[in-house]
Structure 1
C-alpha cells in the first residue's frame, strides 16, 4: 500500500517523535510512505522548535500570522497534488493542525481514503493560551477537518469526546494512544549500572523527562527533598530543559539542596531509555486533560514505579496501586504524598513497576501496533472506496 503522510510540524520534540515513529512503523510493515511536510523540517535538531516560525510569532501581528498559516495550505495543497501525480498513493494520513484544510481538499479532489490523527484541540488551546484573532476561521477550519476526514484518530478517549462535541460520530473514530518502539528499550543498562555512571550510587532517584514548565509542579518535589535529613539519599533528576529550569535550580540552591537536584539539559532521543533506567520513581506530575504523554509510555516500558495524577486520560492506562500510584491533582500535597508512599515502600515500588512493564504488551502500546491499526482502517476504507 502507498500511504501519503502529511504534516505541518517543524519542531523536533514529542510531536516529531510521533511522526517519525509512525512513518517508520508503517514502512516496517512493508508499506511505502510518501511524506509531504514543511521544507527544512528534517534538518531541525532534536529539542528545537526551529527558528523561523518562532521569529514570525514574535514579530508578525496575530492576524497576519494566522493569515500566513491559512495561506500555507495553498502551498501544502500544491505539494500534495504533486505527490499524488508522481506517486499515485492509495490513501492519505494527516496529522491535524489548525488552519490546514489542504488534506481535505486533496481527499475530495482525488477521492483518497483519509485518516486524521488528532493530538489536541488546537483551536481551544490557542484561544486559551496564545489568543486567536481569526477565531471564526480557526474554529471553522477545525470543524471542517474533523468532520470531513473518513476516520479520526484521537490519542485518548478524553480527546475523542472533544471531537464528538464537534459532531463527529463515535463510529468514525478510533482512539490510538501514543506508543513506544520496543527496539529502543531493549538491552538498556540496569538501574544500578546507570546510576553508577551518573555518580548517583546509593541514591533513590526521582526522575522526570521532558520540557520543564512551571505547572509541572517539580517545585513541590524540591520542597519535599528540602525537608529530608542532611544525609538523605533522595535525588531529583530532570532529563530535559525548559522555561522552569532556572527557577527550579534557584529554588534548590536557596534551600541548600542544589547537590540533590540535577538537570541534564536536552538529551538525544537515543539516550532517553538509559537515563530513565536510572529512575527509581518516575514522575508524571501534571498533564493536560486530553494528552497521551510520551514520557508515560517510556516509564511503563522500563517498568518504573510511576507517580501520576488521577485524571481520566491518565486512568485510561494507569490503575492506582496496580501499575502506578495516583494522586488527586486538586490536593496541594497530593504529589509529594504519593512520592512519599513509594519512597517508604520498596515492595510497592517493585510491584507497580512489574505491572507497569506488562502494561505495554497488555494494551499493545507500541508504534508497530498503532501502525497495524492504521493499516487495518485504510484497508477497510479502500475496500469501500
Structure 2
C-alpha cells in the first residue's frame, strides 16, 4: 500500500507541479495564473508552466493575441470551435512530453472549453489532475452568442469536470453547479480569487491619487477593468447627468474597453463629458495607485458564479464597495457591514445607492475600513489559495520512494 503525504509533512515536502493552461490574452486570467504560480513557488514548490506563449504579445486591448486572435477572425464560429477541440491533441502531446521530462507529482490545469488534454494526460500517466474552474464556459459562451456547437461543448465540459481528481471552483455557487453536472461533492473545494498584499504596499493617499489624475476635490466613483457593454456603465453616465450641474461627482475608469467611445459620446451628448474619465490601459502594477482615487468602488452586475478580481482589489484598497446583491458576493461580503449592495434587476437601484453613498462620506470611510478588515481576516490572498491547493494535491500523491 502506497504511503500518502500526511498533513504535518506538507510544509517540508517539495512538490513538482505541472501547471497547464490555454490562455492567449493578457487579462485577469493571466493575472490569476501568474499569482498562483508565484505563490506556489514562494511556498517552496517546483512549478513548470505548459501553455501558449502568445499572451506575451498582447497589448491589453482585449481579445486574444497573436495567431489565436487571427484564427478567430478568419474562421467561422463552428470551424473555430472545431479548431479549439483539435488543439487538445496538440496540448495532450505537449503535456505528455512535459510529464516525461519534468516528472510532476500532479497536473494543475486552468479549465478552458474544448480542452480535455489534462484529463487525457492524467488517465494515461496516472498523475492526479487538479482543475481550477472559473466559469462553465459552455454556458457562458452560449449566453453571449459565441457558441455554435453547443452539444459538443456540453460533452467536453462534463467530461473534463468529471475527469479531475479535485475541482476548484471560485465560488460556492459554481461548486453547486458542478455538482448538478455530476461532479462528486467530495472532489470539490471552493477557492475564491484573491490579492497579493505586496501590490498594495506604499500606496498614495486618496488625495494624492486624485491630484495626479487631475481630480482634486472630486468625489470619485471608480471602476477597474476592461469595460464592455454588460458592465452597464451607461447607467452611471445617465446618473451623472441627472445630478446638479455644479455637482463634483465623477466616474473614473481605471482601464479601457470597446465601449469607451460610446460612453464618451453619451457623456458629450448629455453635457457631462468632464465627469467621465478613462485612464486608458494601465500596467497591472500601477492599477492600485490609480484606484486609490476612488471614494466608491463599483462592481457592476455580472454572472452569478463569478469571483471578480477587482472585488478583492477594492477590499485591499480599503474602499467603500457597491456591488450587486448576488449569492456570489454574499460569499465574500456582508451587506451593510463591509459593502453596500443594489438590486441589479431593479431600475433605479444602483442610482439610489450611489446617491446615498456620495452624500455620506463618513459612512463610506467606515465601509472601506471594514472591507479591508474582512480581506485580512478571511485571508483572500494568493498564498492562502496556493496553500489550499497544495494541501489537496499532497493528499492525492504517495510519498516518493513508497512504492510509486
User: What is the TM-score with the length of structure 1 in the denominator?
Assistant: 0.97
Aligned to 1:360: 375
Aligned with 1:159: secondary structure? helix
In 2, Cα distance between the equivalents of 1:357 and 1:380? Answer: 33
- Aligned mates of 2:74, 2:278 — CA distance in 1: 32
CA distance in 1, matches of 2:334, 2:171: 16
Deviation larger for 264-273 or 62-71: 62-71
Deviation at 1:82, TM superposition (A): 1.1
Q: Does 1:88 align with 2:103?
A: yes
Q: Residue 172 in 1 paired to residue 193 in 2? A: no
For residue 47 of structure 1, report the CA deviation from its aligned partner: 4.4
Q: Which residue of 1 aligns with 2:148?
A: 133
Please list, as runs of the form range in 1=range in 2, the aligned pairs for 1:246-325 lying within 5 A after superposition.
246-325=261-340
Higher RCO structure, 1 or 2 (CA under 8 Å, sep 6+): 2
Output the CA distance in 1 between the equivalents of 2:368 and 2:77.
46
Aligned partner of residue 210 in structure 1, secondary structure: strand
Deviations 1:100-153 (A, max 9, x none): 111111111111121100000111112222343333321111111101100100
Which of 118, 131, 137 is 1:103 aligned to?
118
CA distance in 1: counterparts of 2:387 and 2:370, whole angstroms: 25
How far off its partner does 1:86 sit?
1.0
Superposed displacement of residue 54, structure 1:
2.8
Cα distance in 2 for partners of 1:79, 1:100 equals 13
**Within 1, Cα distance between the matches of 2:300 and 2:230?**
9
For 1:326, the equivalent position in structure 2 comes to 341
| Matching of residue 194 in structure 1 with residue 194 in structure 2 | no
Equivalent pair of 2:54/2:65 in contact (CA under 8 Å): no
How many Å separate the matches in 1 of 2:384 and 2:147? 37
Most deviating of 57-66 and 272-281: 57-66
User: CA offsets per residue over residues 243-283 of structure 1, 9 Å max, x none?
Assistant: 22111111111111111111111111011101110101101
Check the 8 A contact 1:281/1:342 in 2, yes or no: yes
Q: For the residues of structure 2 that align with 1:349 and 1:134, how far apart are their CA atoms?
A: 47
CA distance in 1 between partners of 2:276 and 2:78 (Å):
43
1:47 and 1:355 map into 2 onto residues whose CA distance is: 34
| CA spacing shift, 1:284–1:37, aligned 2, 3 Å | same
Per mean C-alpha deviation after superposition, the further-off stretch among 34-43 and 296-305 is: 34-43
Structure 1 CA distance for aligned equivalents of residues 145 and 83 of structure 2: 16
Gaps of 5+ in 1: none
Between Structure 1 and Structure 2, how many residues are aligned?
A: 385
**TM superposition shift of 1:363:** 1.6
User: 1:40 offset after TM fit, Å?
Assistant: 2.9
Contact 1:99 1:142 in 2 (8 A): yes
Q: How does 1:332-371 map to 2 (within 5 A)?
A: 332-371=347-386
Q: Report 1:53-64 matches (<5 A).
A: 53-64=68-79
- Normalised to the residue count of structure 2, the TM-score between the two structures is 0.92
**Secondary structure at 1:240 match in 2:** strand
SS in 1 for 2:297: strand
Matched, 1:203 2:240: no
Name whichever of 81-90 and 219-228 sits farther off.
219-228
SS at structure 1 position matched to 2:220: strand
CA distance in 1, matches of 2:369, 2:354: 18
